[in-house]
Chain A
């Protein structure tokens, strides 16, 4: 496995997860349709962390549920999400997902670890159960394996016999991470792992996830916390109104020259450490998306073309004003 995060160097490898034109529609009562995710396209390589960022309601959690096969029955998915080059998560049956994918090939780091752990059983009992299920370790080896599993997520040995409610937020997060790591899954999926945690804890959680990525796993982290994304990600995918509008390397995205898509720029500028200025307006309803660019109504650069025609996702960007290239043509104008 590699500890080199230059995506170019990893181009030759088979991605751990390759998502192509993934769309999720919810059929609602009364014939209404909700386009929760539309034409998502991205891939994650071993040892790489991709952060999927966007505001709540942009469809990123639905995307995560789709990858785990946990969508409600009224959802329809199209496209493909190929895991490890051989299993399409969207067409695999529930039996395959339950027996060979969840836990074994995708480890889930949950949003609220305290709720994810079984309240009436100690952490040790839950770790041992996962070990039995996922690795087949039995008998006396189990105790030792549990210690190793806990140590991997930096969960202190002395707290193993505690119940979830006796753990602080940080320890609960580590316990959940320890469980996610047990199956040695090549892909970790972290859905808002830092919501409600304070800054120190966010950084510690994120750093630990980064460490597991450096060991050669692929990490897909879904978050609205840009500071957390900046700290951990190799690449960033920005989602708006169900579509990925930009995918970029993290360093130029957060540093210079900055994001190319106006929405991503607006999102970064809203941070308190930057301009602290909100993007005007609110995102459109996923059930009533405009024909043109979904961001046009809030965009300072929008012109007639933006409202008429939906920009294609090309060169990792969906914006009329920057068809190709690294820099935003209007960036200079805006900065001037």
Chain B
């Protein structure tokens, strides 16, 4: 499903955050990527989601080598991957209601007519009431907003879901609830999962296998040490 080969990426070519990292996620598989904060795993997640162009290395998605990132990636390739980020507050356009937030990918891909139906399907799945759907981000809690962000990532039925520290800001119950939503979606759709995080207990419980950041990186000496 996803094959990252010797990826080097970062924000400054002279000092990349990710060095020569390889990672494989098979179709339908759930892989947990474990690493300390600040080690570059979020950057790798963005590379995998075609949101950040790596300096070197190749990304293969569904057997196709990725040639462009962000807007240069074909829309079908981009939307095959759903992403959920760590901080729901920053991941939501503050002007949009939760309903619009969830509907955005449908509108972007010309499926406006599907909005009522898909939102009505997803909202109960992630536990959002009709009343909450009408609110804007500042009027809901982090947990409720993250539920909407997860629904947004699922609305186009991605074949790969990337969860970058999805639950780091959330309490135990909301964490368990969101993981249950992801797992239910995966069991119904057969989608693969790359869950990035620092909580070993959580990722080991959630994923089929976990990979430790240091194990796969040649540049592991750069990993920040507290």
Contact = CB atoms under 8 A, between A and B. Distances in A.
B122 to A, nearest CB: 16
> Which label, helix, strand, loop or mixed, suits the secondary structure of the A interface?
loop
Contacts of A170: 226
Given A56-B143, A198-B37, A272 B173 contact: no
A276 B172 CA distance: 8
Contact of B202 (A196, A224, A272): A272
Interface residues of B, number: 33
B226 A267 contact: no
Contacts of B168: 195-196
B171 A55 contact: yes
A57 B143 contact: yes
Interface in B3-32: none
Interface residues of A, number: 32
Nearest to B178: A278
A276 B36 contact: no
Contact of B141 (A56, A168, A196, A197): A56
Interface stretch (B58-66, B74-82, B155-163, B193-201): B193-201
B219 interface: no
B170 interface: yes
Nearest to B141: A57
A98 interface: no
Given A57-B143, A168-B226, A278-B176, A196 B169 contact: yes
Contacts of B174: 55, 278
A125 interface: no
Contacts of B199: 198-199, 272
16 contacts: A55-B170, A55-B173, A169-B226, A196-B37, A196-B168, A200-B226, A201-B36, A201-B37, A201-B226, A204-B226, A266-B173, A271-B172, A271-B176, A272-B201, A278-B180, A279-B177
Interface of A: 54-57, 168-171, 195-201, 204, 224, 226-227, 266-268, 270-273, 276-279, 281-282
